[in-house]
């Protein structure tokens, strides 16, 4: 061990070397993103298992077994696959930000290091949201090869709306990560399990994942309820871009422009609310 | 107040830390957590904030490190206002908190390199600096481990290494040695002095009077959100009226010792600045021993504040006279006391000056009640 400690303060400190304010902030922002990617990359298999276990069984039971034993129509898998893609992307994105934030803001405070970086504080939730959206997008994407493997002949995705599909997958992940941000900033560590049940379960079952929205016409009140769940728009958007035309007709979904408006609004609103509560939690 | 050595810097550059009438009232709170505090820390100074729990120390650190927005007043670091130029401030400060907030998903070396990356340090330089600091802090062989395996002392060292990665001007240490074993504490003290010697300004909070006494050039004692005093440790100790103590041991022939003792006690009580004279038994515990001077053991100064014994019955060996003289300046009494001993027909065996501990000052200022 050396006798003395390194001197701080040579005249060329980091701040003198770096460019302007924006350059400094971007630098820090990308370093944070790189940190999150490095950490996720290191536990990539656990991440995939966590994100994919549930959709895998859903696909298998609802897409393969139930139609196989005659309890579901054969094309049920085609309608459910987009719902599974939406749900997987959204949950994976939420998980990428909610739990870490709850623990960080609750007591671990590992995030302080980033809060003391030379950028405005709102960049930190922005980075969290973008990173979680990357997780969600990856998880959603993996559903396609998995679905192809599990559903085999039941796997049907139209190929003429790929750009819309990509856009929907990314938007869905962003919806998940911004909701995750808001949840992560309002939930206290001691409430985690309760809140997950209270929020996840309704989100899961009112989100039109396992049934198309249009099919709810006979249960009007429930059809209206589902419109308040962003997952409904994500699932319908993915149905719009994935379900092949049947008998020369597109499968009826919610209007695609309404879907985009709803998803976009949700992302912006949740991000603003989440960032506001985030700032309140870290700066008093 | 003693003149600090940073005085010459004052004209050319703003102080490292400047706090003006800082007030912080938390929402729904009936009183101010920080209530009109002003102080200044010069560049290159080690400044201590002392106070009981809830005195407002951590709130002040929060305000200076951009985590807490002042209700009123202002604070600045190296001339940059904390509320209006937070990014400039963040570039110039580093914080070592009370509890570990290390990034447990990363390996030790990555904690340092990512920290520097957040601050825009180029890759080659941050890797060099990380290796160097890890070596110097005795962590070189564990740089690829994750933090979970580290003890409190090691976490502390990693946090210090991390704090130095972006070459800050001001380092904040919030109760740095609270949970450390004596070895880690001594190690940390050495590092703090090293860093300060190289020009780093340090603000630390502590309950540990011995620590403050050893490290700080100036100390502010806080209570109920206000600074009660702000001075050098030496000057603070003079705050206790009659706070210095002269201990005198003398010998007189046993047959004459009773009379010599009576004469001597009377002479001592008449001396200028003397507030109290206690007759003590030789084997009585010395009340001021714990923090005597600056060289007590690591545990020194943390025992409860001593209470001067109330005329305990002297049980000395025949002929030995032993007194404790409380005075404003014990040093000034050495000569007169020696003369008094001789003129009473006794001879001096031992004369020593004891300083009061900071702990006594602290209790004197903030009272004994629990928080």
* Beta carbons of A284 and A196 less than 8 angstroms apart: no
Q: Residue B189 is encoded by which pair of tokens?
A: 């003290």
Question: pLDDT at residue B314 above 60?
Answer: no
pLDDT tens sequence across A16-39:
545 688 888 999 999 999 999 999
Least confident of B21-25, B32-36, B314-318: B314-318
pLDDT of residue B303: 42
CB contact under 8 A, B95 and A116: yes
- Phi, psi angle pair for B281, to nearest 5°: -80, 145
pLDDT tens sequence across B267-278:
888 888 887 787
Question: pLDDT at residue A10 above 80?
Answer: no
Q: What strands, in cross-sheet order, belong to the sheet with B226-231?
A: B93-96, B170-174, B201-206, B46-50, B218-223, B226-231
- A37 contact B CB<8A: no
For residue B356, how far is the Cα from the chain centroid?
14
CB contact under 8 A, B119 and A35: no
Residues of A in contact with B137 (CB under 8 A): 1, 5
Q: Residue A124 is encoded by which pair of tokens?
A: 């930190």
Q: Are strands B218-223 and B244-251 parallel, antiparallel or unpaired?
A: unpaired
Based on the number of CB atoms within 10 Å of its own CB, is A73 exposed (0-12), middle (13-18) or buried (19 or more)? exposed
Least confident of A40-44, B350-354, B357-361: B357-361
Question: pLDDT at residue A53 above 50?
Answer: yes
Q: Residue B103 is encoded by which pair of tokens?
A: 């990034």
Question: pLDDT at residue A83 above 60?
Answer: yes
* Beta carbons of B34 and B60 less than 8 angstroms apart: yes
Task: Determine the average pLDDT of the residues in B181-197.
Answer: 86
Domain boundaries, chain A: 21-282
pLDDT of residue B218: 93
Handedness of CA A134, A168, A92, A74 (dihedral sign): negative
Least confident of A118-127, B44-53, B141-150, B218-227: B141-150
pLDDT of residue A148: 92
B contact test, residue of A1, A4, A6, A26 with most B CBs within 10 A: A6
Alpha carbon of B12: minimum distance to chain A alpha carbons (Å)? 17
Q: Residue B120 is encoded by which pair of tokens?
A: 């825009």
Q: How far apart are CA B327 and CA A158, in angstroms?
A: 96
| DSSP string for residues in B271-298 | STTEEEEEE--TTSPPTT-TT-TT---T
Task: Determine the average pLDDT of the residues in B187-210.
Answer: 88
pLDDT, greater one: B283 or A215: A215
* Type and span of the H or E element at B7: none
- A112 contact B CB<8A: yes
* Beta carbons of A140 and A92 less than 8 angstroms apart: yes
* Beta carbons of A83 and A209 less than 8 angstroms apart: yes
Which domains, from first to last, does chain B contain?
9-237 (3.40.50.300), 244-355 (3.30.70)
- For A:3-22, CB contacts with B below 8 A are 4-10, 13-15, 17-18, 21
pLDDT tens sequence across A169-206:
999 999 999 999 999 999 988 888 888 788 888 988 89
In the structure, what pLDDT confidence band is assigned to residue B333 with cuts at 50, 70 and 90?
A: confident
pLDDT of residue A94: 93
| Strand locations in B11-54 (E) | 17-24, 34-41, 46-50
Q: What strands, in cross-sheet order, belong to the sheet with B320-327?
A: B274-279, B320-327, B244-251, B347-354
CB contact under 8 A, B118 and A115: no
Nearest CB to B199; choose among A9, A23, A108: A9
Residues of A in contact with B110 (CB under 8 A): 38
pLDDT of residue B370: 62
Residues of A in contact with B62 (CB under 8 A): 284
CB contact under 8 A, A38 and B115: no
* Beta carbons of A170 and A195 less than 8 angstroms apart: no
* Beta carbons of B53 and B370 less than 8 angstroms apart: no
In the structure, what pLDDT confidence band is assigned to residue B258 with cuts at 50, 70 and 90?
A: confident
Task: Determine the average pLDDT of the residues in B158-168.
Answer: 91
For residue B269, the SS3 value is helix
pLDDT of residue B368: 60
pLDDT of residue A14: 45
For residue A235, how far is the Cα from the chain centroid?
13
- B43 contact A CB<8A: no
Q: How far apart are CA B187 and CA B175, in angstroms?
A: 15
A contact test, residue of B132, B167, B168 with most A CBs within 10 A: B167
CB contact under 8 A, B115 and A113: yes
pLDDT of residue A74: 78
Q: Which of A149, A143, A182 is nearest to A268 (CA)?
A: A182
* Alpha helices per DSSP H over chain A: 14-17, 21-42, 44-58, 66-68, 76-103, 112-115, 123-151, 162-186, 192-205, 220-226, 230-242, 256-282
* Type and span of the H or E element at B218: strand B218-223
pLDDT, greater one: A184 or B242: A184
pLDDT of residue A35: 94
- B235 contact A CB<8A: no
- B29 contact A CB<8A: no
Residues of A in contact with B198 (CB under 8 A): 5, 7-9
- For B:283-302, CB contacts with A below 8 A are none
- B87 contact A CB<8A: yes
pLDDT of residue A8: 46
- B67 contact A CB<8A: yes
In the structure, what pLDDT confidence band is assigned to residue A232 with cuts at 50, 70 and 90?
A: very high
Mean pLDDT over all residues of chain B?
81
Task: Determine the average pLDDT of the residues in A244-264.
Answer: 90
Q: How far apart are CA A243 and CA A160, in angstroms?
A: 11
Q: For chain A, what percent of residues have pLDDT higher than 70?
A: 93
CB contact under 8 A, B136 and A32: no
Tell me the C-alpha to C-alpha distance, in Å, between residue A241 and each of A74, A274, B88: 20, 29, 48
CB contact under 8 A, B167 and A4: no
Alpha carbon of A124: minimum distance to chain B alpha carbons (Å)? 11
For residue B270, the SS3 value is helix
pLDDT tens sequence across B290-308:
333 333 334 333 444 444 4
pLDDT of residue B291: 38
In the structure, what pLDDT confidence band is assigned to residue A155 with cuts at 50, 70 and 90?
A: confident
Torsion of CA A230, A232, A238, A241, to 10 degrees: -110
Task: Determine the average pLDDT of the residues in B260-268.
Answer: 87
Alpha carbon of A9: minimum distance to chain B alpha carbons (Å)? 5
Beta bridge partners of B325: B246, B277
Q: How far apart are CA B51 and CA B58, in angstroms?
A: 10
CB contact under 8 A, A14 and B26: no
Q: How far apart are CA A40 and CA A134, in angstroms?
A: 11
pLDDT of residue B78: 93
Least confident of A116-130, A216-230, B69-83, B240-254: B240-254
CB contact under 8 A, A1 and B92: no
pLDDT of residue B292: 38
- A40 contact B CB<8A: no
pLDDT of residue B353: 84
Task: Determine the average pLDDT of the residues in A64-79.
Answer: 86
pLDDT of residue B170: 95
- For B:133-192, CB contacts with A below 8 A are 133, 135-138, 162, 164, 166-169, 191
In the structure, what pLDDT confidence band is assigned to residue B201 with cuts at 50, 70 and 90?
A: very high
* Type and span of the H or E element at B246: strand B244-251
CB contact under 8 A, B92 and A283: no
Mean pLDDT over all residues of chain A?
88
Nearest CB to A283; choose among B69, B91, B115: B69
* Beta carbons of B170 and B77 less than 8 angstroms apart: yes
* Beta carbons of B225 and B300 less than 8 angstroms apart: no
For residue B143, the SS3 value is coil
Residues sharing a CB contact under 8 Å with residue A126, sequence separation 6 or more, in sequence order: A29, A271, A275
Q: For chain B, what percent of residues have pLDDT higher than 70?
A: 84
Task: Determine the average pLDDT of the residues in B306-320.
Answer: 56
């Amino acid at each position: 061990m050396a006798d003395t400690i390194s001197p701080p303060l040579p005249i060329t400190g980091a701040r003198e070397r770096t460019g302007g304010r924006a350059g400094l902030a971007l630098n820090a922002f990308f370093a944070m993103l790189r940190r999150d990617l490095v950490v996720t990359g290191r536990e990539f298999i656990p991440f995939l298992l966590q994100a994919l276990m549930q959709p895998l069984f859903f696909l298998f039971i609802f897409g393969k077994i139930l139609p196989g034993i005659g309890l579901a129509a054969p094309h049920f898998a085609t309608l459910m696959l987009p719902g599974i893609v939406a749900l997987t992307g959204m949950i994976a994105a939420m998980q990428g930000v909610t739990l870490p934030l709850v623990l960080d803001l609750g007591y671990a405070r590992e995030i302080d290091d980033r809060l003391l970086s030379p950028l405005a504080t709102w960049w930190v939730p922005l980075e969290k949201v973008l990173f979680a959206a990357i997780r969600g997008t990856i998880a959603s994407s993996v559903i396609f090869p998995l679905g192809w493997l599990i559903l085999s002949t039941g796997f049907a995705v139209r190929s003429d709306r790929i750009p819309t599909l990509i856009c929907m997958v990314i938007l869905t992940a962003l919806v998940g990560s911004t909701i995750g941000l808001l949840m992560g900033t309002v939930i206290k560590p001691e409430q985690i399990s309760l809140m997950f049940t209270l929020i996840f379960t309704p989100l899961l079952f009112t989100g039109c994942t396992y049934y198309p929205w249009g099919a709810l016409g006979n249960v009007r009140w429930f059809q209206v309820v589902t419109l308040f769940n962003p997952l409904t728009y994500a699932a319908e958007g993915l149905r719009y871009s994935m379900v092949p035309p049947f008998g020369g007709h597109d499968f009826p979904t919610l209007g695609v422009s309404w879907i985009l408006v709803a998803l976009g609004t949700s992302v912006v609103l949740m991000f603003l609310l989440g960032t506001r509560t985030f700032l309140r939690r870290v700066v008093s | 107040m003693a003149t600090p050595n940073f005085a010459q810097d004052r004209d050319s550059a703003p102080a490292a830390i400047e706090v003006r009438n800082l007030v912080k009232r938390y929402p729904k709170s009936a009183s101010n957590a920080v209530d009109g505090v002003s102080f200044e820390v010069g560049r290159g100074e080690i400044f201590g904030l002392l106070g009981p729990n809830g005195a407002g120390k951590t709130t002040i650190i929060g305000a200076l490190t951009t985590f807490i927005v002042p209700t009123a007043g202002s604070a600045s670091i190296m001339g940059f206002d904390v509320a209006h130029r937070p990014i400039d401030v963040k570039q110039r400060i580093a914080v070592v908190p009370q509890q570990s907030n290390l990034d447990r998903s990363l390996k030790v070396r990555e904690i340092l390199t990512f920290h520097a990356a957040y601050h825009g340090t180029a890759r080659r330089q941050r890797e060099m600096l990380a290796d160097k600091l890890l070596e110097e802090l005795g962590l070189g062989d564990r740089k690829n481990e994750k933090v979970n395996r580290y003890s409190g002392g090691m976490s502390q060292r990693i946090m210090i290494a991390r704090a130095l990665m972006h070459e800050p001007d001001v380092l904040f240490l919030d109760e740095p040695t609270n949970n450390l074993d004596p070895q880690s504490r001594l190690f940390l003290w050495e590092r703090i002095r090293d860093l300060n010697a190289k020009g780093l300004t340090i603000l630390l909070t502590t309950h540990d009077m011995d620590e403050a006494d050893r490290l700080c050039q100036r100390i502010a004692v806080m209570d109920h959100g206000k600074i009660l005093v702000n001075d050098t440790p030496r000057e603070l100790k003079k705050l206790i009226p009659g706070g210095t103590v002269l201990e005198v041991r003398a010998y007189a022939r046993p047959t004459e010792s009773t009379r010599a003792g009576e004469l001597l006690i009377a002479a001592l009580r008449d001396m200028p600045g003397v507030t109290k004279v206690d007759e003590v038994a030789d084997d009585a515990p010395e009340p001021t021993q714990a923090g005597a001077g600056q060289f007590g053991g690591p545990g020194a100064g943390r025992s409860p504040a001593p209470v001067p014994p109330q005329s305990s019955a002297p049980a000395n060996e025949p002929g030995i006279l032993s007194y404790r003289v409380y005075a404003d300046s014990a040093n000034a009494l050495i000569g007169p006391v020696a003369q008094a001993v001789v003129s009473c027909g006794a001879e001096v065996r031992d004369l020593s000056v004891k300083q009061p501990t900071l702990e006594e000052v602290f209790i004197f200022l903030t009272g004994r009640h629990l928080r």
